[in-house]
Amino acid sequence: MSVLTPGRKVEKLDRLAELAAAPAHERGASLWREAWRRLRHNPSAIVGAAILGLFVLVAAFGPFFVPYGPTDTIGVASGEVRPAAGVIPGPSAEHWLGYDHLGRDEFSRMVVGARQTLLVGVVATLIGMTAGCILGGIAGAAQGLGGRWGRRVDTVLMRAVDMMLALPSLLLAISIAALLGPSLTTVMIAVGAIAVPIFARLLRGSMIAQATSEYVLAATALGVRKHRIALSHIVPNSLAPVLVQMTLTLATAIIEAAALSFLGLGNPDPSTPEWGKMLADAQRYIEISPGLAIYPATAIIVTAFGFTLLGEAMREALDPKLRT
Amino acid sequence: MARQSGSIAASVSERGAHRAERRGSALLDVADLSVTFAHRGAPTVHAVDGVSFTVDEGEVVGLVGESGCGKSVTSLAIMGLLPRRGVQVSGRAVFDGRDLLTLSDDEMRDIRGRDIAMIFQDPLSSLNPIVPIGVQVAEVLIRHRKLDRAEARRESAELLDRVGIPDPQRRLREYPHQLSGGMRQRALIAMAVACRPRLLIADEPTTALDVTIQAQILELLKSLVRESGTALIMITHDLGVVAGMCDTINVLYAGRVVETASRRPLFAEPRHPYTVGLLGSIPRLDGAREDKLRPIPGSVRDVLPWPDGCAFAPRCDRRVDACVGEPPAMTAAPGGRAYRCVNPVLAVTTPPAALAKEQP
């Protein structure tokens, strides 16, 4: 017989009390709420969420509290930074992460860069998700409910999507970015575009699976119209994987956006801090001040890791096979 | 979905042989309904092979048979719910003067749920898991009776109350997984009867439920049908279900009706050996201890293609030479009954006392 330590016991009692206290109609509630409950009890979800929470906080409010202007070349003005002579001071009490090669405060730039990174990641993901879901939704509904013509529509759309999927994603992004000229919008569109086929395939597949389910047959047997079946029955049941993919796409979007900036296809204004660009700039001084490369690289990796942790945890929480 | 295997070539139709004495205006008149599944690379399957039966206004009709005999496919074909691809439906299904098989998609959609509704076997998977019960019930009302949301909500609560769901206001807000199996089936029945359809098709409505709930659901269906005058097609493999509620019973085997009779004559004097076998395989609580169940030997897979003779012949213990060679015709008998057998079990051979424990 296992012994319950006081701590475990209290935990169990608390859970019981929670269950008993909740009004009956909320006790099991919807599947989304059930997924949320499981998410809260998953350690990797908590770690992921904590990382992301910190990241979002920094991105949103950090720029108001940075000690120095991110574009002020204070180090050069004061003579402390002389890159030509190979002098770039590292971390100190006043400058927590030291100076960059133009004598700007690296910490301030990191904080301000977080906002840029988050903005690009979120907007790119939203672009990709919206376009992908429209494409996939049309294809899925057409294939699932549209009869012979629907299947043709689906075939045409999906072959187009397959073509996009066939190209290596970064190559595609680079081509798009090169075509549109370097700018922040370009990066967002390019990174968003490579997520389109993924979302389209995902939603379509999930919708087709739902279209053959019993409840769709039952709704059809009650005379419910097709567009209503698609919108109010099939789509809501197909969104769980899209939500998971969104979180995972945010991770790749941040990495890809950084890659594009690194390659010089991002914001043409060199003074705007952006992690990928900072990483690119740091290359030339990696022997003098390796920290300049390590900080943005770590930030990119940790942020992407946070999104991935949360995404994987969400996948688990929403997995119908694990549902009790 | 029941799909029968076998390779029947040209089906020999026996249009109307047994339907001579049918009344003029039935609510639903299914005549020579055939459904074939043809998929590339797979043999063509005649799931339903010339099924004919009628349902009168307010009548309860049973379609009985083992799994795979075509009962579910018959109902889906009538409702127009079979997939288009690789499926061929022929025959007629005249409902209220209109042949359902020739109606357009839009016309059919208007009929479904309003004039003909269906109850499925598994109530959990027939309900949308992430939409509250109330929304799903209201959906039908809004669609067919053009109610607004508030009215539909009120009406939904009344409907749930009518099908015996306690505390309907609360249940309307709940999700399918929060309801018990019986409650779910009641909710589905509420959706089916929401527009007071003239015909209800129940496809094994109690199979997924436990025995005590089964009785309640059957009772509910019976009372709903009685109150509203709705006709009901009861699809089941369970003769016990049929015994309690059906007026007329059609026994299906391998996609064809093998025996049609009213309830009493069917149970008292089954003619077709398959019906006899079905009756003999019902467990009886009042039977003596040493009474063994007598299952029908073999399985539905052991069929003879109909054109080559009686499909039941390989499993039949009354088989005679005449069974093989050509399909047995439907033989009409007094009392509006008919059977498809060349060597039927006749009443004289059945001492009334041994009815339930049929010979041979």
pLDDT digits (tens, 9 = 90+) for B155-167: 999 999 989 899 9
DSSP string, A98-129: -B-TTS-BHHHHHHHHHHHHHHHHHHHHHHHH
Residue-range domain boundaries for chain A: 31-65+113-322
Among A61-75, A306-320, B8-22, B254-268, top mean pLDDT goes to: B254-268
| Set of chain B residues whose Cβ sits within 8 Å of the Cβ of A224 | 113, 139-140, 143
Query: B271 with B337: CB under 8 angstroms?
Result: yes
Helix extents (H) in chain B:
71-79, 105-111, 133-145, 149-162, 168-173, 181-193, 211-228, 239-245, 263-268, 273-280
Closest CA to B137 of B105, B171, B182, B106: B171
| Set of chain A residues whose Cβ sits within 8 Å of the Cβ of B130 | 30-32, 236-237
Taken in order B97, B102, B108, B110, the sign of the CA dihedral is: negative
The model's confidence at residue B93, banded by pLDDT at 50, 70 and 90, is very high
Least confident window among A270-279, A303-312, B12-21 = B12-21
* Structure confidence at residue B1 (pLDDT): 40
Q: Position B29: which residue type? A: D
Task: Tell which of B79, B103, B112, B128 to mutate to test the A interface (max A CBs under 10 Å).
Answer: B128
Query: B251 with B64: CB under 8 angstroms?
Result: yes
* Structure confidence at residue B235 (pLDDT): 93
CA distance A2 to A12: 14
Please answer yes or no on whether B139 and A228 come within 8 Å at the CB atom: yes
Query: B263 with B250: CB under 8 angstroms?
Result: no
* Structure confidence at residue B291 (pLDDT): 67
A225 to chain B: closest CA residue? B109
Query: B224 with B297: CB under 8 angstroms?
Result: no
| Set of chain A residues whose Cβ sits within 8 Å of the Cβ of B127 | 215, 218
Tokens matching residue B332? 């009409």
* Structure confidence at residue B288 (pLDDT): 67
pLDDT of B308 strictly over 90: no
pLDDT of B232 strictly over 90: yes
Restricting to B residues 133-172, those with a Cβ less than 8 Å away from any Cβ of A are 139-140, 143-144, 170
pLDDT digit string, tens, across residues B185-207: 999 999 999 999 999 999 988 88
* Structure confidence at residue B16 (pLDDT): 36
The pTM for the full model equals 0.77
The model's confidence at residue A25, banded by pLDDT at 50, 70 and 90, is very low
CA distance A205 to B172: 31
B127 touching chain A per CB within 8 A: yes
CA distance B28 to B92: 10
Task: Tell which of A222, A232, A234 to mutate to test the B interface (max B CBs under 10 Å).
Answer: A222
Q: Name the minimum distance, in Å, from the CA of A47 to any CA of chain B.
A: 29
* Structure confidence at residue A3 (pLDDT): 45
* Structure confidence at residue B158 (pLDDT): 92
pLDDT of B23 strictly over 60: no
Mean pLDDT value across residues A255-274:
83
Maximum alpha-carbon separation in chain B: 67
In sequence order, what are the beta bridge partners of B55? B28
CA distance B307 to B328: 9
Please answer yes or no on whether B114 and A223 come within 8 Å at the CB atom: yes
How many angstroms from the chain centroid is the CA of residue B280? 20
pLDDT of A31 strictly over 80: no
* Structure confidence at residue A9 (pLDDT): 53
* Structure confidence at residue A320 (pLDDT): 58
Helix extents (H) in chain A:
6-21, 24-27, 31-40, 43-65, 74-78, 106-145, 147-166, 169-180, 184-211, 214-221, 226-228, 235-262, 275-282, 291-318
Q: What is the mean pLDDT of chain B?
A: 83
Task: Tell which of A145, A212, A215, A229 to mutate to test the B interface (max B CBs under 10 Å).
Answer: A215
Mean pLDDT value across residues A78-102:
76
Of A147, A218, A223, the CB nearest to B109: A223
CA distances from B323 to A79, B8, B250, B312, B341 (A): 110, 16, 21, 9, 8
User: What CATH architecture does domain A31-65+113-322 belong to?
Assistant: Orthogonal Bundle (1.10)
Q: In this predicted model, which residue has the larger pLDDT, B104 or A322?
A: B104
* Structure confidence at residue B317 (pLDDT): 84
In sequence order, what are the beta bridge partners of A118? none
Please answer yes or no on whether B118 and A237 come within 8 Å at the CB atom: no
pLDDT digit string, tens, across residues A107-164: 888 898 888 888 888 999 999 999 999 999 999 999 888 878 888 999 999 999 988 8
pLDDT of B356 strictly over 60: no
* Structure confidence at residue A16 (pLDDT): 52
* Structure confidence at residue A314 (pLDDT): 84
Q: Name the minimum distance, in Å, from the CA of A59 to any CA of chain B.
A: 35
The model's confidence at residue A10, banded by pLDDT at 50, 70 and 90, is low
Please answer yes or no on whether A222 and B128 come within 8 Å at the CB atom: no
A36 touching chain B per CB within 8 A: no
Q: What percent of chain B has pLDDT over 90?
A: 35
Of A25, A147, A218, the CB nearest to B126: A218
Q: Name the minimum distance, in Å, from the CA of B177 to any CA of chain A.
A: 9
| Set of chain A residues whose Cβ sits within 8 Å of the Cβ of B128 | 215, 219, 233, 237
Task: Tell which of B95, B110, B130, B169 to mutate to test the A interface (max A CBs under 10 Å).
Answer: B130
Q: Residues A118-135, buried b or exposed e (16+ Cβ, 10 A)? A: bebbbbbbbbbbebbbeb
Q: What is the mean pLDDT of chain A?
A: 82
| Set of chain B residues whose Cβ sits within 8 Å of the Cβ of A217 | 81, 120, 126
pLDDT digit string, tens, across residues B259-305: 999 988 888 888 899 998 888 877 777 766 666 777 787 776 777 88
Task: Give all strands of the β-sheet with B45-55 in edge-to-edge order.
Answer: B45-55, B28-37, B87-95, B98-99
Please answer yes or no on whether A224 and B125 come within 8 Å at the CB atom: no
* Structure confidence at residue B206 (pLDDT): 86
pLDDT digit string, tens, across residues B169-185: 999 988 888 888 889 99
Taken in order B120, A208, B114, B71, the sign of the CA dihedral is: negative
CA distance B198 to B27: 8
Least confident window among A27-36, A141-150, B88-97 = A27-36
CA distance B170 to A139: 38
A30 touching chain B per CB within 8 A: yes
Q: What percent of chain A has pLDDT over 90?
A: 21
pLDDT digit string, tens, across residues A210-235: 888 889 999 999 999 988 999 888 99
Of B81, B111, B128, the CB nearest to A220: B81
DSSP at B296: P
Helix (H, G, I), strand (E, B) or coil at A290: coil
pLDDT of B225 strictly over 60: yes
Query: Could you tell me how many CB contacts below 8 A there are between chain A and chain B?
Result: 83
Query: A137 with A199: CB under 8 angstroms?
Result: no
The model's confidence at residue B251, banded by pLDDT at 50, 70 and 90, is very high
A29 touching chain B per CB within 8 A: yes
Of B81, B85, B173, the CB nearest to A221: B81
CA distance B127 to B192: 12
Q: Which residues contact B177 (CB under 8 A, 6 or more apart)?
A: A28, A31, B124, B129
User: Strand pairing of B256-262 and B337-339?
Assistant: antiparallel
| Set of chain B residues whose Cβ sits within 8 Å of the Cβ of A148 | 84-85
pLDDT of A269 strictly over 60: yes
Of B84, B178, B191, the CB nearest to A222: B191
User: Strand pairing of B28-37 and B45-55?
Assistant: antiparallel
In sequence order, what are the beta bridge partners of B60? B232
Q: Name the minimum distance, in Å, from the CA of B226 to any CA of chain A.
A: 22
